[in-house]
Amino acid sequence: MAARSIASLSLSFGLVSIPVKLYSATESSETIRFNLLTKDGSRVKQQYVSEKDMKTVVPRSEMIKGYEFEKDQYVLFQPEELKALEEDTSHVIDIVAFIPEKEVDPIYYDKAYFLAPDKRGGKPYSLLRAAMRDSGRCALAKWAWKGKQYVVQVRAAEDGLVLQQLLYANEVRSLADLDIEITEPTPAELKLALQLIDQISQDSYDPTMFEDEEKKRILAAIDAKIAGQEVVASPHAEGGESAGGQVIDLTAALMASLKRAPSAAAKAGAKTPAAGNVSAMGKERKGARRAPKAEVAEPVAAPARSRARK
């Protein structure tokens, strides 16, 4: 299915105005949800009740919004007043500066979007992308969207431009608040740590190396439950528990790690998805899967049903 744009905008670059379309760059994976039920298996329904008597059910059509300016004191707003309060959504992404791309700490990254040229925007779009790539700089811009003004980074990617919403300074906490005590390692410890880093290093990030193994494990257990089996806890893997508070020989631990750590290439090969779990399009299949026998107790007679997905 072709991607659908969220909005038509204008990227302001000096006196140059580049018409662009905005697209979501990410999508959330399907989460595993457990519904709340009564003991007889019926779904329960959430309702809003008045805090005055905790009994009167209030339908959505009778709700209004209010701002608490003092304890239990609210100023009430009608829908049209709330709409008037929102800053007019700006269709202009106004570039205010160009800085080296690596100057933006990723901790400030929020949601990412793609920018694509709109009608008559192809040439200036390509010019801006090429200029940023050659200069090694990204753009900082202001953008008002849905009642909030954002600081955004526009950076050149291999195939186009990425718009990255940035958090404000007061939205990012400081490591200094944690009072972390920094201790200097010994030369021998540092040498071993560098050897371990070198042993499992790779030259690039390949996101396809990773998959949600916890999700696969839970789905397998759900399938086993559907098939009538009882779900039981798996034994903890060796070394899986925290060593919290234990005094360890750091040098010995590093040397042991060097002996047992696989290379990055070997780890990448081990992450290949199992056949049948993922389709050619990268989507998880819908059908039920049986969990490994070691994960469950002996099956109890019960009819197997397909797992419902929303």
- Its pTM stands at 0.67
pLDDT digits (tens, 9 = 90+) for 256-280: 888 886 755 555 555 544 433 433 3
pLDDT digits (tens, 9 = 90+) for 74-97: 999 988 888 877 755 678 999 999
**Structure confidence at residue 287 (pLDDT):** 43
For 253, phi and psi rounded to 5 degrees?
-65, -40
**118, 155 in Cβ contact below 8 A?**
no
**210, 275 in Cβ contact below 8 A?**
no
Domains for the chain: give ranges and CATH numbers. 7-28+86-170 (2.40.290.10), 187-234+250-295 (no CATH)
**Structure confidence at residue 106 (pLDDT):** 94
**Structure confidence at residue 84 (pLDDT):** 78
The DSSP symbol for 203 reads: S
Bridge partners of 9, per DSSP, are 20
Give the pair of three-digit tokens for residue 53: 């008597």
Which amino acid is present at 41?
Answer: G
Give the pair of three-digit tokens for residue 281: 């399009």
Q: Identify the band that residue 13 occupies on the pLDDT scale cut at 50, 70 and 90.
A: confident
**Structure confidence at residue 11 (pLDDT):** 95
User: Three-state DSSP class for 32?
Assistant: coil
Q: Identify the band that residue 238 occupies on the pLDDT scale cut at 50, 70 and 90.
A: low
